[in-house]
Amino acid sequence: MALAVPDTGADPAAALPDPGEKAAVVQSMFDRIAPRYDRLNAVLTFRLDRAWRRATIDEAEIRPGDRVLDVACGTGDLVELARARGARVTGIDFAAGMLQVAGRRGSRGRVVRGDALALPLADAATDAITCAFALRNFVAIPPFFAEAARVLRDGGRLAVLEVAEPQSALLRAGHRLYFHHAVPVVGRLLSDRSAYAYLPASTAYLPPPEELADMLRAVGFTDVRRRTFGLGAAQLVSARRAPRTGARP
Ligand SMILES: C[S@@+](CC[C@H](N)C(=O)[O-])C[C@H]1O[C@@H](n2cnc3c(N)ncnc32)[C@H](O)[C@@H]1O
């Protein structure tokens, strides 16, 4: 059975799945849109996402030889960018359709199927973790941060790229017009109606920046930083794994 988020109509909240069905709905949605995902991404972000992704790799302080985990890797953009820095990268995602595209794009053997909330890695097994445009798709954010803290070595860096809402009222109004009205139309025409109604509606899952920072500190991260791109339409949140022993990294 194909799972889909309900049609939006005029109410954005109607585009969100029931909490108990979120994981299955999200997985099935990304399986469905995988073949057109990269094209839509480029169109909807005017290709600005490329610079944001490079900034994510910089923020994760990836160096040649580092073990890097890209969580919710999708079609493998960050996997390939981290590889280009000489890192040993593993991408993980629960949507087989997205992983198939990643494989065709050159990441075969470097991407595995798995759940961001139960990472198949030993404690302290990785030097850096990246994650792009996936936070709001998780059933809950704290379990992902807890897993990231578990598998990162002391001093390792987590860099999370996500959508955001501009601060200023004027920019926010323009952004709403684009993200909440134009994006669903373009998405419907070029890909999938319910998926691209879900995309803007899913920003409702994102907590305010201070709350996100508190969640990170609560599970063992320090040095939490946040910057924005695209006039506030995207945010990059990063943090360092605090030493487990109390020694400085
Ligand atoms: C918007 S896409 C982002 C893909 C990629 N990171 C990018 O930047 O293009 C969100 C991805 O998160 C994945 N995802 C959502 N929840 C997940 C979970 N619990 N475990 C693994 N992957 C998940 C989806 O399958 C999808 O590929």
96 occurs within a structural domain? yes
The set of residues, in sequence order, having a beta carbon less than 8 Å from that of 96 and lying 6+ positions away, is 31, 113
Work out the burial of residue 26: count CB atoms within 10 Å of its CB; fewer than 13 is exposed, 13-18 middle, 19 or more buried: buried
Atom of ligand 1 nearest to the CA of 37: 9
148 occurs within a structural domain? yes
Note the pLDDT of residue 8.
43
At 205, is the secondary structure helix, strand, or coil?
helix
Atom of ligand 1 nearest to the CA of 95: 25
> 120 falls in which pLDDT band (50, 70, 90)?
very high
Q: Separation of 93 CA from ligand 1 center, angstroms?
A: 6
Asked if residue 91 has pLDDT above 90, the reply is: yes
Note the pLDDT of residue 15.
83
Radius of gyration of the CA atoms of the chain, in A? 17
Per residue, the 3-state secondary structure of the chain, as one string, reads: CCCCCCCCCCCHHHHCCCHHHHHHHHHHHHHHHHHHHHHHHHHHCCCCHHHHHHHHHHHCCCCCCCEEEEECCCCCHHHHHHHHCCCEEEEEECCHHHHHHHHHHHHCCCEEECECCECCCCCCCEEEEEEECCHHHCCCHHHHHHHHHHHEEEEEEEEEEEECCCCCHHHHHHHHHHHHHHHHHHHHHHCCHHHHHHHHHHHHHCCCHHHHHHHHHHCCEEEEEEEEEHHHCEEEEEEEECCCCCCCC
CA gap 232, 172 in Å, rounded: 9
Residue % of the chain over a pLDDT of 70:
93
Q: Which residue has the higher pLDDT, 27 or 106?
A: 27
50 occurs within a structural domain? yes
Asked if residue 16 has pLDDT above 50, the reply is: yes
Kind plus residue range of the DSSP H or E element containing 19: none
187 occurs within a structural domain? no
pLDDT mean across residues, the chain: 92
Ligand 1 pocket residue status of 74, Cβ below 6 Å = yes
Asked if residue 247 has pLDDT above 70, the reply is: no
Note the pLDDT of residue 17.
92
Asked if residue 113 has pLDDT above 80, the reply is: yes
List phi, psi (to 5°) of 166.
-60, 155
Least confident range from 130-144, 156-170, 172-186: namely 172-186
Of 151, 22, 159, 134, nearest to 72 (Cα)? 134
CA gap 165, 9 in Å, rounded: 22
Mean pLDDT of 12-24: 86
CATH code (residue 139): 3.40.50.150
Q: Which residue has the higher pLDDT, 53 or 107?
A: 53
CA gap 99, 103 in Å, rounded: 6
Asked if residue 170 has pLDDT above 70, the reply is: yes
Ligand 1 pocket residue status of 94, Cβ below 6 Å = yes
| Site to substitute for ligand 1 among 25, 121, 133, most atoms within 8 A of C-beta | 133
Atom of ligand 1 nearest to the CA of 34: 27
Note the pLDDT of residue 108.
85
203 occurs within a structural domain? no
198 occurs within a structural domain? no
Note the pLDDT of residue 191.
87
pLDDT tens for 31-90 read 999 999 999 988 988 899 999 999 999 999 999 999 999 999 999 999 999 999 999 999
90 occurs within a structural domain? yes
Tokens, residue 14: 């109607």
Mean pLDDT of 184-213: 92
CA gap 120, 178 in Å, rounded: 38
Contact 144, 214 (CB under 8 A): no
Mean pLDDT of 151-178: 95
Give the residue numbers spanning the domain of 218: 19-163+208-241
116 occurs within a structural domain? yes
List phi, psi (to 5°) of 7.
-65, 145
Query: How many structural domains compose the chain?
Result: 1
Ligand 1 pocket residue status of 77, Cβ below 6 Å = yes
